[in-house]
Amino acid sequence: MNDLVVLGTHNSYKLAMPTARMDALRAADANSADALHYAHRPLVEQLDAGARQLELDIWYDPRGGLYADGSTDPAMLQPGFKVQHMAEFDNRSNCLTLV
pLDDT tens-digit map of 75-96: 999 999 999 999 989 999 999 9
Dist CA 23 CA 9 (whole Å): 25
What is the residue-level pLDDT of the chain in tens, covering all 99 positions? 688 888 999 999 999 999 999 999 999 999 999 999 999 999 999 999 999 999 999 999 999 999 998 788 999 999 999 999 999 899 999 999 998
Closest by CA position to 96, among listed 2, 7, 10, 14: 14
Q: What is the CA radius of gyration of the chain?
A: 15
Closest by CA position to 75, among listed 94, 89, 55: 94
